[in-house]
Amino acid sequence: MLFSYSRLDKYQTCPKSFYLKYVVQIPEKPTASLALGKAVHAVIENVVKTQNFSKPYIEILAKSLGEAYGVENPEEIVWLAFRDAVLKEVRQGGTVEEQFELELSPEVRLQGFIDLWRENGSKIELIDWKTNYNTYTPTDTYQLPLYAYYLQEKTGKPVAGRLVFLRTGEVFEQEFTQMELKEAVGWAVATGKEILQKIEQLNEVPEDLLFPASPSHLCEFCGYAGICQGQIENTSEPQSYNEAVKLAEEIIRIEAILKEKKEQLYKYIEGTNIPIPVGEKEFRLVGEGYFKWTPEAVKKAYEYAVQKGLDPFKYLSLTSTNAEKMGLTDEDIKSLGAEWKERKPSLKLVKRGDN
Ligand code: SF4
């Protein structure tokens, strides 16, 4: 088996998703973030090759390549690709999207695609574009050190890696030490060998034991959620912090599975127009809409209530969004006499650090 950083990483984060993709070879359902990433890389590759940095040209590329990769919003591609941090790199040129294969040990061969690299005097610069929301440094994962190892073997020169985060425009750079490269290679060889051993055991040991499902926040973006039916773990009430973390990760997986299953049922009902009965209820597609109240319509509703002898203020309420638009703070609203009503706190999944 030919390994790559993303294959090895997939195995480490969830052995089951690795098994489904690379052993059983079930095609992974493309996710929106994957499609966006591919389209952005293709646009930047084209810009480096043509050395045409004009925004109209990038917009044309974003439209055609976005369509080819199934990206809904080509403007997002332009926003990500037409950034100072990107333009600064691509103007300097270099070798783009180089594919390589390298033997790391007699059993483990590694392949990779390098976004951009160039020689700069006595050293090599290695650049990788990232469309992730979270930033990290070049040594936080083994991807760049492995690519750097290949470039060092190829050129005999030390390598500095740069991660360019397209959403924030942040750039993280680091020159790799020999120790860091050795550590990355050691990890790739050990992980690759472990995978090969497990594949050999598949005739004797159940696949779920060798390649267990490992729920995490990544389930949200997993193209196998629709067929991930491994045993649901630890559904009892958590007794410790670690058990609570496991339960939270399992919830993310169950929600991802549920979303995928609902999409499958939606497609079936949409295609056949047949509702699906479940006991006394049924799943069907129900058109939904809402009334948009214009200021004129609100005024008429007010007059209607007065005409009927009703207190209009009992029925026409002010939403918190509109109060905010009017510039009223919570304190202002309280001082106007509005009463704050506590609700039972609800369980929500929010970004860490957000209130
Ligand atoms: S849904 Fe989660 S647990 Fe299941 S295969 Fe995907 S990443 Fe693994």
| Residue with CA nearest ligand 1 atom 2 | 219
Reading the block at residue 75, the tokens are 């403007």
Helix axes 55-69, 32-50, angle to 10 degrees: 140
pLDDT of residue 31: 83
Q: What is the DSSP letter of 311?
A: -
Distance 143 CA to ligand 1 centre (A): 22
Mutate to test the pocket of ligand 1, among 6, 26, 214 (most ligand atoms within 8 A of CB): 214
Per-residue pLDDT tens digits for 193-243: 999 999 999 999 999 999 999 988 889 888 898 888 665 665 678 999 998
| Residue in the structure block whose two tokens are 């214009």 | 294
Spatial contact of 187 and 209, defined as CB atoms under 8 Å apart:
no
pTM of the model: 0.77
Residue 172: its H or E element: strand 171-175
Mutate to test the pocket of ligand 1, among 14, 34, 249 (most ligand atoms within 8 A of CB): 14
* Other CB atoms within 10 Å distance of the CB of residue 313: 10
- Residue 33's pLDDT band (boundaries 50, 70, 90)? confident
| Residue with CA nearest ligand 1 atom 7 | 219
Instruction: Determine if ligand 1 sits within 6 Å of the CB of residue 15.
Output: no
Closest ligand 1 atom to residue 222 Cα is 6
**pLDDT averaged over the chain?**
92
Closest ligand 1 atom to residue 16 Cα is 5
Q: What is the DSSP letter of 337?
A: T
DSSP string, 117-152: EEEETTEEEEEEEE--SS---TTSSSHHHHHHHHHH
Per-residue pLDDT tens digits for 144-197: 999 999 999 999 999 999 999 999 999 999 999 999 999 999 999 999 999 999
